[in-house]
Amino acid sequence: MDEHEAAHLHETLDFVGLRAHATAVGLIQLTAELVRAGVLDEDAVTRIKAAITRDIVLTRPRSISREDYERSIRERLDVIFTGREALGAEPAAGPAPTATI
């Protein structure tokens, strides 16, 4: 998905109201269930996190470099998708954990 398509999807989801915490929690739980059932592999989880990252980076503050912001988002998603940190918490210090669920 290119940046234009990502921006359009972002606007559409925002318009529908799917940017809520409940939706994020549901996606994370669904992903975990599909991994446990053997439907999704590590590459699929990586692609899911990349799609989320692309969307979040679209709204980054202009005062923060895209690279730094994207790295921070990826690290936070790695932690969230491992189930080691609650949504909304500050990211863990040190290297990001592996991305398995």
The pLDDT > 90 percentage for the chain reads: 39
| DSSP SS3 for 57 | helix
60 within 8 A of 3, measured Cβ to Cβ: no
| pTM for this model (two decimals) | 0.64
How far is the C-alpha of 22 from the C-alpha of 44, rounded, in Å?
A: 22
Predicted confidence (pLDDT) per residue in 9-56, tens digit: 777 777 666 556 667 878 888 999 999 999 999 999 999 999 999 989
